[in-house]
Amino acid sequence: MKIQIFCVGGTIDKIYFDAKSKYEVGSPAIGKLLAELSIHFSYKVDSLMAKDSLEMTDEDRRLIREAVMNSSSDRILITHGTDTMPETARALLGIDGKTIVLTGALAPAIFRDSDAAFNVGGALAAAQSKPAGVYIVMNGEVFDGDKVRKDVEANRFVGLAS
Q: What is the CATH number of the domain that holds 150?
A: 3.40.50.1170
Residue 162 confidence (pLDDT): 63
* Total number of domains in the chain: 1
Q: Enumerate the β-bridge partners of residue 76.
A: 4, 100
Query: Hey, what long-range contacts does 17-25 have (CB within 8 A, 24 or more apart)?
Result: 23/108, 25/50, 25/51, 25/52
User: Is the predicted pLDDT of residue 17 greater than 90, yes or no?
Assistant: no
Q: Is 53 annotated as a binding residue?
A: yes
User: Is the predicted pLDDT of residue 126 greater than 90, yes or no?
Assistant: yes
Q: Is 84 annotated as a binding residue?
A: no
From the list 11, 84, 88, 103, the catalytic residue is 11
68, 76 contact by CB (below 8 A)? yes
Residue 14 confidence (pLDDT): 63
Structural domain including 131 reads: 2-159
Percentage of residues in the chain having pLDDT higher than 70: 90
Whether 79 is a known active-site residue: answer no
- Summarised one tens digit per residue, pLDDT across range 105-124 is 887 777 777 888 889 999 99
Confidence of residue 60 (pLDDT cuts 50, 70, 90): very high
User: Is the predicted pLDDT of residue 135 greater than 80, yes or no?
Assistant: yes
Q: Is 144 annotated as a binding residue?
A: no
